[in-house]
Amino acid sequence: MSEECNHQCEGCNVDCSEREKIDFRESPHELSHIKKVIGVVSGKGGVGKSTVTSLLAVLMQRSGYKTAILDADITGPSIPKAFGIRDKATGNALGTFPVKSKTGINIMSVNLLLENDTDPVVWRGPIIAGTVKQFWTDVIWDDVDFMFVDMPPGTGDVPLTVFQSMPIDAIVIVTSPQELVSMIVGKAVKMARMMNIPILGLVENMSYAICPDCGKEIAIFGKSHLDETAASYNIAAMDKLPIDPNLSALCDSGTIELCENNLLGNLAKALEGLMNNNDGGSEK
């Protein structure tokens, strides 16, 4: 332990003997049954993290698993819009209930609590972090195989809160082709490793566009760096998502569950492997 230690371990990333004795994880609601928790993160905003979160939940639900999305991006919640959810979350003396999508995906987002979807969330960091914790502790998540946590970009208060207070089994990192973003990916990777959280896979969004005339793949944002970035951090599972106007239209119209592509197939296999390697998962 450092001589300068102030014993505030929750905001400290120093690996010391005192820190190892403290467990900041919060227990979920006593009526929740959650097998695997997967964080979906990005080093910067605007790379399609919420789209990847939605697609993974849809894909695994379609594969026979019961999925849920905890929208931890409190100031920029977009999950309800992608699923066309207009109902508000309800609750009783036992707790709060997530809203089910058309195909049965359980979803909780701050937009399901606000009176108007366009109301801004002008809160300071501790309140935002506390809200995310309540989505875990106060919401009744009934019988979930995979919970996907859509986290805000970067390595600030909320990602740190999620990593410390929830039993994250693995994370998926979303990036875009620009070389600068590869450096930013490194920050997300290093944060995960500092918190001892495995990295399940890497998704390169907006990787290419398909010419409508000849079908050729066009690297609009330059050459892909997915393979070399994944190799440098020993990440095995990789997928690429193209710039697809049809996918954007599905998100805008709230019909993401109608998406028929299987472009995240490698991540889906890795998720199934994660579940199978633990004999069906351990309930949280």
Total domain count for the chain?
A: 1
pLDDT value of residue 161: 86
| Burial classification of residue 2, based on how many CB atoms lie within 10 Å of its CB (0-12 exposed, 13-18 middle, 19 or more buried) | exposed
The pTM score is 0.88
Does the residue 13 lie in any domain? no
Tokens of 47: 């790379």
Does the residue 145 lie in any domain? yes
CA angle 187, 190, 196 (to 5 degrees): 145
Does the residue 14 lie in any domain? no
pLDDT value of residue 203: 95
Does the residue 204 lie in any domain? yes
Does the residue 209 lie in any domain? yes
CA nearest neighbour of 218 among 206, 229, 203, 228: 206
Each residue of 149-168: pLDDT tens digit? 999 887 778 888 888 899 99
Cα of 189 vs its chain's centroid, Å? 14
Does the residue 7 lie in any domain? no
Which of 183-187, 265-269, 277-281 has the largest mean confidence?
Answer: 265-269
CB-CB neighbours of 207 under 10 Å: 22
Please, what is the end-to-end C-alpha distance for the chain in angstroms? 31
Does the residue 81 lie in any domain? yes
CA angle 88, 284, 167 (to 5 degrees): 90
Rg of the chain's alpha carbons, rounded to an integer?
Answer: 19
Each residue of 51-78: pLDDT tens digit? 999 999 999 999 999 999 999 998 889 9
Residue 207, domain extent: 26-277
Give the DSSP letter string of the chain: --TT--S-GGG-----HHHHT---PPPPPTT--EEEEEEEE-SSSSS-HHHHHHHHHHHHHHTT--EEEEE--TTS--HHHHTT--PPPEE-SS-EEPEE-TT--EEE-GGGTSSSTT------HHHHHHHHHHHHHTB---SEEEEEEEPPSSSSHHHHHHHHHS---EEEEEE-S-HHHHHHHHHHHHHHHHTT--EEEEEETT--EE-TTT--EE-TT-S--HHHHHHHTT--EEEE----HHHHHHHHTT-GGG----TTHHHHHHHHHHHHHTTT----
Domain of 101: which CATH number? 3.40.50.300
pLDDT value of residue 43: 82
**142: Cα within 13 Å, side-chain hemisphere:** 8
Does the residue 120 lie in any domain? yes
Confidence tier at 180 by pLDDT (50, 70, 90)? low
